[in-house]
Amino acid sequence: MSSFPKQRVAIITFVYCFAVAIICGTWSPDGNFGRSSGFALELQPVLGEPEDGSSISSSYGALTVGARKLTEAKAETDPSEEKKVSSDSIFSLEITEDDHVVLDLRSTLPRLYHSPEFFAMNYNDMAKNLRIYLYPASQNYNFTQYEYGMNPSEMVSELGVETSSTTDTFFNLLVESKRFVTDDADGAHLYFLPISIDRVWAAVGPAKVGEHLRHYLQWLRNTYKLWDLSLGADHFYFSSHAYDPINHRNNLELTKNAIQVASSPLRRNQNFFPHKDISLPSYKSQHIAEVQNLVGASQRPKLVFVSSPPEDIDPIVASVIQKWTSDSDFHVESADQPSPPFEKLLSSRFCVSVSPQAMLNVVDSLRLGCVPVLIADSIIYDLPFQDVLNWKEFSVVLGVKESPNLKTLLSSISTDEYRKMQYLGHQASKHMEWNDPPKPWDAFHMTLHELWVRRHSIKYARRNEDSPSQPQR
């Protein structure tokens, strides 16, 4: 019996692979790879069209994403769209309003996200389905004095006032929105712990916070059975302070299982687990007229603005900053003479923050077109929404040992690349704005998205104990 010709084997193999490629969608006759067909799910995310028809837009008229598909390589060039783009104000950026320049910048928008498709898909799922259960007030004075008020009269009504922290603002918006809150514990995806660690910290100090939380969680698990069903993995809480830990089961489950919603930047020694915890942008909205009076395309004579460094700064960075004070391309802010709001951000191309304490102005920098430069001695885990937003596309991150070469590095960035970073940073800042009432894609909804994708977080089981039978809710 003669052997099967090798040529026929090769031909049949090629035809088979060709057919599989077409069916699975990895190749198509028009030469495009990765298109969905056959059994694959076709995703065409539109970040600008949530259920209420709104778009990602700044509150002061900067470019909108509109209904543009993030998977496209180039923006649409429909005449009506070009007219719309050219009429938009980009007053805080060093960008002309030429149609082609603006449309070219819009084509870079997918770079803003790690995965535009999955972000859009998860966001839309969150907007339709997320339900959060808020535990009722404890009725125990030892706890109620530190709990978030469920009564609207107890809430801070004005967004951004000094007495309201970022976490307080988020809680108030969550309760007032009602859309994502449910009274049905069985139908909830996540459960909110109404204890304010910030208030406990302010009242008893960092050394006693852990003990207070231990008693609160013991009361919670004795009163409700929800915590024991997941050991806290589907619960979340707010914290903007570090405190002394204690070695107790309740506290360990809170730290390692429950989702911490923290304000960025983190406080020194504050626990943070990036796979489950969330950092919020610490940002307060400003009056637009106050900004518009300061902005102009030629108002960036300085290469770098350096915000006031912390006292315990790394010696290498401290030495470098001291040299920068005599460089005319730098403006170094002193702690005793802080710069007026916005003025230095608008007059500089890059804004340096020494991580983590000096990062409070990062969002302001993005909004006003000053590209952030972050100097850190370790990996930065707490940039707002960094698992969605691709920070390397609109910021510069340097290690401490690289700081002496900062000027050379920044000067080597071309004008075109700088404008793209500036534009993407401006777009990113829209995801970090707090609005009242909330708007789609803003900081409030981005936080809900972060919670949604963490609803199946890994939990750490108790050691040396048999797993208890699941109690009924």
* All domains in the chain, ordered by first residue: 1-41 (no CATH), 130-284+449-453 (no CATH), 288-432 (3.40.50.2000)
What one-letter code names the amino acid at 416?
A: D
Q: What is the pLDDT of residue 234?
A: 95
Cα 103 to chain center, whole Å? 25
362 with 429: CB under 8 angstroms?
Answer: no
Residues 105-131: b if buried by 16+ CB within 10 A, e if exposed: bbebbbbbbeebbebbebbbebbeebe
Interatomic CA distance for residues 314 and 322, integer angstroms: 12
My answer on whether omega of the bond before 341 falls inside 30° of 0, hence cis, is no
Give the tens place of pLDDT for each residue, 313-329. 778 888 888 899 899 99
> Which residue type, as a one-letter code, is found at position 304?
V
pLDDT (0 to 100) of residue 83: 35
Q: What is the pLDDT of residue 451?
A: 97
Give the pLDDT confidence score for residue 457 in this predicted structure: 65
The SS3 call for residue 245 is coil
Query: What is the reported pLDDT for 247?
Result: 87
What is the Cα–Cα distance from 356 to 354, expressed in whole angstroms?
A: 6
pLDDT of residue 185: 94
Q: Which helix (H) or strand (E) holds 391?
A: none
- pTM, to two decimals: 0.74
Q: Is 336 helix (H, G, I), strand (E, B) or coil?
A: coil
E strand spans, 183-272 = 190-192, 235-239, 259-264
Within the chain, which residues score under 50 in pLDDT?
A: 1-4, 9, 15-97, 150-164, 288-289, 292-293, 295-297, 463-473
**CA 421 to chain CA mean position, Å:** 17
Q: Is 34 left (phi over 0), alpha (psi -120 to 50) or beta?
A: left
